[in-house]
Amino acid sequence: MIKNMFLALVLIGFFATSCSNDDDNSGPTNSNLTFNAQGLEALGSGYVYEGWIIVSGAPVSTGTFTDVSSAQVFSVNTEQLNNATRFVLSIEPAVDPDPAPADTKVLVGDFSGNSATLNSSIVGDFSNAAGAFFLRTPTDETGTNNGNDQYGVWFGTPGMPPAPNFVLPTLPAGWTYEGWVVGDNGPITTGTFNVFNMVDAFDDFSETSQPGPPVPGEDFFLNAPAGETFPLDVRGRTVVISVEPVPDDSPAPFAIKPLVGTAGQDTAPATHDFGANLGSLPTGTVTR
C-alpha cells in the first residue's frame, strides 16, 4: 500500500512537471532577422532608423538603430517573421509617439524565400534622372545684365521666363528635393522644393525681397554661412540635388543625391548639365 502511494506521488509530480514544461514552451518564440545596408548615412540627433516587416498587410516593427557601419540583427517573433512578405526601413523620431511607420521610408524589398533585396524605389525611380542649371543673379538690386551672374545658380533653362528641365520623379509624402552649391566650407543650401516650375522655399541669401524666377535656385549675396564669403562665385563649383526627409534630421545633405554637376565658366544663357549620381542611392539586404 505504501509502495503504491509512493508511486502515485511520483507520477503526479512527473505529470505536474511535464505540464509546467509544456506551459513554458507554449509561448511565442523569436528568430533573428539580419539587416545589411550600403550607402546609408548616420542620422542627426533625435532620429533613428527603424525596420518593419509587413505581415498580412500590416507593419510590425523589428527595432531601431543608429549605427550604419555594421550589420544589425533583430530578434523578431518567429511566426510573424516567417509570414512576412516585405521589409521596409524608415526614419523615425528617437522619441516617437506614433507606433506606425513614418512617411520617411528609405528602403523596401519583398521576401523571396528567406531573403529580400532592398532598394530606394519607395522614394522614387531615379534611373533616368537628368537636368541642367544656369548662372544668373535675378535678385541683384542693381538690375539685370550687370555682369555678375556668376553669383547665382538656378535650375532649368534660361528664358523669359526660365523653364524647368528636371527629369525627376514626384516624391511621396515625407520627402523633398533640395539644391546645394559646395562652398569653401561645405554644402550651401539653395532651398527645398517639390515642384520644378516655382520658386523654392528659401531666399535668405538673395539680395532683395522680390521673388526669383519661376524655378528653384538662389543668389548668394547676403547672410553668408560661417566659413563662407559672399558674393559667392559659383563657377567651377559642384552643384547637387539631394532628396531630404521631412522633417529633416540634419542641415547637411541626405545620402540620396540623384544629380551632381559642375558649374562651368559661362553664365546665362549658357546651361550646365547635371549628371546622374545613381551610386548615391542606398541599397541593402535582409535575411531571416
State the residue range of the domain holding 61. Answer: 30-124
- Is residue 82 assigned to a domain? yes
- Is residue 276 assigned to a domain? no
Distance, in Å, from the CA atom of 249 to the CA atom of 43, rounded to the nearest integer, reads 6
Largest Cα span, the chain: 117
Domain count, the chain: 1
Strand ranges for the chain from DSSP E: 30-38, 47-55, 58-65, 72-77, 86-93, 105-112, 115-118, 132-135, 152-155, 175-182, 187-193, 217-219, 238-245, 259-262, 272-273, 275-276, 283-287
* Radius of gyration of the CA atoms of the chain, in A: 28
Per-position pLDDT tens, the chain of length 288: 444 443 343 334 433 444 444 445 566 899 999 999 999 999 999 999 999 999 999 999 999 999 999 999 999 999 999 999 999 999 999 999 999 999 999 999 999 999 999 999 999 999 999 999 999 999 987 655 568 999 999 999 999 999 999 999 999 999 999 999 999 999 999 999 999 999 999 999 998 766 689 999 999 999 999 999 999 999 999 999 999 999 999 999 999 999 999 999 999 999 999 999 999 999 999 999
Residue that the C-alpha cell 533625435 belongs to: 46
Give the model's pLDDT for residue 25. 57
Residue 74 is classified by DSSP as E
Q: Please count the residues of the chain.
A: 288
Select from 114, 108, 101, 94 the least CA-distant residue to 46.
94
- Is residue 72 assigned to a domain? yes
- Is residue 181 assigned to a domain? no
Cell of 17: 512537471
Q: How many Cα atoms are found within 13 Å in the side-chain-facing hemisphere of 123?
A: 29
- Is residue 193 assigned to a domain? no
Task: Say what the pTM is.
Answer: 0.88
- CA-to-CA separations, 227 to 30, 67, 201, 224, 230, in angstroms, rounded: 52, 29, 23, 8, 10
Give the model's pLDDT for residue 24. 53
Give the model's pLDDT for residue 28. 81
Given the DSSP bridges, would you call strands 259-262 and 272-273 parallel, antiparallel or unpaired? unpaired
Give the model's pLDDT for residue 27. 65
Cell of 25: 514552451
Sort 216 into a burial class: Cβ within 10 Å, 0-12 / 13-18 / 19+.
buried
Select from 110, 35, 23 the least CA-distant residue to 75.
35
- Is residue 17 assigned to a domain? no
Strand partners, 108: 88, 119
- Is residue 270 assigned to a domain? no
- Is residue 145 assigned to a domain? no
